[in-house]
Structure formats: C-alpha cells, structure tokens
C-alpha cells in the first residue's frame, strides 16, 4: 500500500463509519416510543370516531335498531353491544386501540393506551365545555328576556 491510497482509504472508512452511525440512529428512531404529535393526532381522530358512533345523529337509527333488538332479547349479545355503543368511554377505548394497532410501528399497545387516555381527556373537556356552554347560553337568553321585559315595562310606564 502506497501513500496515494491513504486519502481514499480514509474517505472510504469515514463513509462506512458514517453509514453505520446513520443506521444506528435510524434503528433507534424506529424503536423509540410514540411521539406526542402522533398521540395527539390519533386521539383527535379517535375522539371524532367515538362521537360518531355514540352520539351523532347520523348513527342514531343504527343505535335505535340495536336498542330495539336488545329490548326484544334481554339475554343476548345485543344487550352487551347496546351497552357498549352507549358508552363513549368504552367505544373510545376500542376505537383508540383499533386505530393504533392498525398503524405500522412499534409499541402499538402502548400507543393505543396513550391514545385512549388522551381521547378520554378530550371527551371530558368536550363534555365540560358543552355543559357550561349550554348553561351560559341559557343564562344569557334568560337575562336577555328579563331585560326585554323590564325595558317594555319602563316603556309602558313612560307611555302612561
């Protein structure tokens, strides 16, 4: 081996070492835990699908049919299915787990449990906001109606 081969050997060994390091980083990234962004996006998707199944009007006819079958046959799987579909927490768990297992990657069950927890948190926040929102709107409507009545009484007093 002469001195003219030295730069080529250094370059080749440097490239090989860089490729090994890159390969290690890629394999570590594949085995890493699910990221927060991934869990947030999956939780939002799971929350929406859960709402479609358990609460939205579009699936109300299916839920009503399921309820009727459960009423007809009290000791059947229909009762169990009806209870499942009427429970947002239950449907959320299974939807979260199904979405997480269907997607490629490692730690699918851990991702599913994380998504289910985040989805349940979203469901609780949505419920809190919607109940308080409805109460605030109702309170504002009552206050507006009261103000209108008081205003009309004052107008009547001034007119007489």
Give the burial string for 121-138 (b: 16+ CB within 10 Å, else e): ebbeeeeeeeeeeeeeee
What value does the mean pLDDT of the chain take?
76
Structure confidence at residue 64 (pLDDT): 92
% of residues, the chain, pLDDT over 90: 12
The domain spans of the chain are 1-32, 35-159
* Minimum mean pLDDT range among 9-23, 25-39, 51-65: 9-23
Confidence check: pLDDT of 24 > 70: no
Structure confidence at residue 134 (pLDDT): 66
Structure confidence at residue 31 (pLDDT): 54
Confidence check: pLDDT of 89 > 70: yes
Confidence check: pLDDT of 112 > 70: yes
Confidence check: pLDDT of 11 > 50: no
Confidence check: pLDDT of 26 > 50: no
Residues 125, 47: contact at Cβ < 8 Å? no
pLDDT digits (tens, 9 = 90+) for 60-72: 999 999 998 888 8
Residue 33's CB is within 10 A of a number of other CB atoms, namely 12
* Minimum mean pLDDT range among 28-42, 56-70, 90-104, 127-141: 127-141
Q: How far apart are CA 9 and CA 19, in angstroms?
A: 15
Q: Where are the alpha helices (DSSP H) in 2-107?
A: 6-31, 36-54, 60-72, 77-85, 88-102
Does the global pTM surpass 0.75? no
Cα 110–chain centre separation: 15
Q: How far apart are CA 78 and CA 72, in angstroms?
A: 9
């Amino acid at each position: 081996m002469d001195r003219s081969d030295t730069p080529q050997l250094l370059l080749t060994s440097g490239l090989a070492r860089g490729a090994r390091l890159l390969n290690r980083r890629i394999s570590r990234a594949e085995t890493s835990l699910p990221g927060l962004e991934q869990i947030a996006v999956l939780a939002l998707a799971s929350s929406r699908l859960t709402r479609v199944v358990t609460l939205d009007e579009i699936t109300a006819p299916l839920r009503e049919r399921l309820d009727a079958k459960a009423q007809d046959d009290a000791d059947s799987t229909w009762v169990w299915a009806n209870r499942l579909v009427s429970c947002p927490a239950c449907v959320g768990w299974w939807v979260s787990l199904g979405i997480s297992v269907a997607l490629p990657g490692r730690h699918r069950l851990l991702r599913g449990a994380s998504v289910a927890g985040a989805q349940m948190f979203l469901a609780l926040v949505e419920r809190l906001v919607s109940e308080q929102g409805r109460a605030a709107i109702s309170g504002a409507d009552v206050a507006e109606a009261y103000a209108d009545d008081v205003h009309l009484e004052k107008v009547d007093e001034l007119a007489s």
